[in-house]
Chains A and B, each alone.
Chain A
Amino acid sequence: MDTIIEFQNLEWKYENTKEFALKGINLKIQEHSFVGVVGANEQGKTSLLSAICGLIPHSFNGIYRGQVLLFGKPVREMDSLELATKVGLVFSDPEAQFTAMTVEEELAFGLENIGYSLSEIKERLEWAAQITMIEDLLDKSPYDISGGQKQRVAIACVLAMNPPIIMMDEPTSMIDPLGKRLIFDILRKLKEGKKHTLIVAEHNIEQLAPLADEMILMSDGQIVRHEPTLEFLTNPLYLREQGILPPECTEYAQWLKNEGYLSPDTRLPLELEQAAALVMPLFEKKVVK
């Protein structure tokens, strides 16, 4: 598979802070992979995403050393239009990312910026609205819909542009359980469509882990771990120290392995169904179903 994003020793400091937000990042991301980014707040997750979509260095002032390549071309040399066709970013606060008066306008906005034909806009818009389940919201004001709906609209806005790379920065942190589920549903659809590279920063590892192929742990402006998700979750204690709550099922299964209830070479479960399949036989005949 091809590397489509490459960080070469990137350092970045915002003009109004003392410390560097990114301290020498080296990273390669393969096409069509799903990468989860975790870590406590203020450790560099958002900066990492911003450096990929070009908000860093184009929209912020600061010190920028090293470089980031998108499809082999430095982000620094691309303008907002070129970047918008390559990479889309969904922010965590759904409230703040709208600028238009209706949802449909909001979706069309980016497409109009690119200059697509009317029929192409219609087609893309309907496609994005369908995946994100917002067809019945199109003529509403983005101001009058619920937080979860707003976030789906924000995702639809990015999808409509159909960039090969889609990133989300804590997309579910401000919304209710149903809204969270719907967003992870969308991510699952996108992953199974195998047309996009997905990068998602989240605190909600329980829902992220089953989807992510690999995980990145950010701490103090650096990538401290970058591994396939399974390996990443094998050390729940270490993760807790880093401020990460591993999925409860994974943590429990790891304990079962440590205690010898499960064989040491058991593959850790990442979600409920996998865990149930693994654990239920242990309790067979021991408990009343």
Chain B
Amino acid sequence: MKPLITVENLDFTYPDGTPALLGINLEIGEQEFIAFIGQNGSGKTTLSKCINGLFKPTAGKVIVEGIDTSRRGVIKQLVTKVGYVFQNPDHQLFNRSVKSEIAYGPRNINLPEEEVERRVREAAQVAGVSEDLFETHPYFLPKGLRQRVAIASILALKPRTIIVDEPTTGQDMQQSLEVMNFLRALWKEEGHTIIIITHEMRIVADYAERTVVLGQGQILLDAPTRQVFSQPEILQQTYVEPPQITRLAQKISKEEPFRSVLTVEELKGLTKEVLS
């Protein structure tokens, strides 16, 4: 199968000379759920911005559905392939009403007005933004809803891949579950590829199928989440710890299947098997 996104030997250096990414190679396929993890400054966000074309590679290549992101004038094409939801919804809501907010992207890519209208309704429905709110100013919505509007405004561009930067930061359990289950539905039911950038290992363990660990601008690990968490020694290099229950299971036994336990439920199951 042909990957959606191919990153080849990507280097990225900020204009002030700070190197941020070094020799990144990555392939992202259709309908994947990926987590990018690592410390601040490890390159997660920079890599994501290279993938959606906001940043142009200093060296190497990023190919998104056949388009080389370093070519000039590809922005309008790229935004229909990769969507990027920023961490703080306030930064990405600049229109006077929820409706014009969601319509902003489709209008930018010069879609006919009736198509814009259709996409707005569709995106709002998928993101759970009620049409009663269409005329409200986004500023007056509670944070959870602002985030949904931000996601809807990306969905309206119909990108295959959606990158969400720290979807659960500052949220409580209920709110985190809501947004993560929503992303899971986009992945499972709508067939999108979802990439989340997060510091919450429990979220990674519960939702991501594949995890990419970044450290000092390089990929330290890129594997199914279960495999990633079963290598605590490598994770330690970038100060990332597997979920607590995984660490407990690894203390019980360094061998499989204990080594790669991800949730409390899994460990309960194993316990029953082994002890009775």
Contact = CB atoms under 8 A, between A and B. Distances in A.
Complex: A in contact with B (CB within 8 Å): yes
Interface of A: 39-41, 92, 146-148, 170, 173-181, 203, 206, 240, 243-245, 247-249, 251-252, 255-256, 259, 261, 272, 275-276, 279-280, 282-283, 286-289
Interface in B213-262: 239-241, 243-245, 247-248, 251-255, 258
Interface stretch (B53-61, B89-97, B114-122, B169-177): B169-177
Given A248-B243, A276-B248, A41 B268 contact: no
Q: Main SS of the interface on chain B?
A: helix
B172 A280 contact: no
Contacts of B1: none
B239 A173 contact: no
A248 B248 contact: yes
B165 to A, nearest CB: 12
Given A176-B39, A259-B272, 4 more contacts: A287-B252, A288-B255, A289-B253, A289-B254
A256 B199 CA distance: 29
A179 B40 CA distance: 9
Given A177-B239, A248-B245, A148 B40 contact: yes
Range of interface residues on B (Cβ < 8 Å): 20 to 34
A12 B267 CA distance: 45
A255 B270 CA distance: 13
A137 to B, nearest CB: 15
B198 to A, nearest CB: 10
B244 A177 contact: no
Contacts of B171: 41
A252 B170 contact: no
A221 B61 CA distance: 54
Contacts, number: 98
B74 interface: no
A174 B170 contact: yes
Contact of B264 (A178, A248, A286): A248
A32 B255 CA distance: 44
A249 B244 contact: yes
A40 B171 CA distance: 8
B197 to A, nearest CB: 11
Interface of B: 39-41, 169-175, 199, 201-202, 239-241, 243-245, 247-248, 251-255, 258, 264, 267-268, 271-272, 274-275
A261 B254 contact: no
Nearest to A250: B244
Nearest to B251: A276
Contacts of A177: 39, 199, 201, 239-241
Nearest to B174: A243
B248 A249 contact: yes
Contact of A275 (B169, B172, B248, B272): B248
A283 B250 CA distance: 12
B245 to A, nearest CB: 4
Contacts of A92: 170
Q: Which of B172, B175, B240, B272 has the most CB of A within 10 A?
A: B172
Contacts of A259: 272
A255 B41 CA distance: 39
Leading 8 A-B pairs by shortest Cβ distance: A248-B245, A178-B239, A40-B172, A287-B253, A276-B251, A248-B244, A41-B172, A176-B40
Contacts of B169: 173-174
A40 B178 CA distance: 13
B239 A280 contact: no
A39 B171 CA distance: 11
B176 to A, nearest CB: 9
28 contacts: A40-B172, A40-B175, A175-B40, A175-B199, A176-B239, A177-B39, A177-B199, A179-B40, A181-B239, A240-B173, A243-B173, A244-B173, A248-B244, A248-B264, A249-B244, A249-B248, A252-B248, A255-B264, A261-B271, A261-B275, A272-B244, A279-B248, A283-B252, A283-B274, A283-B275, A286-B275, A287-B255, A287-B274
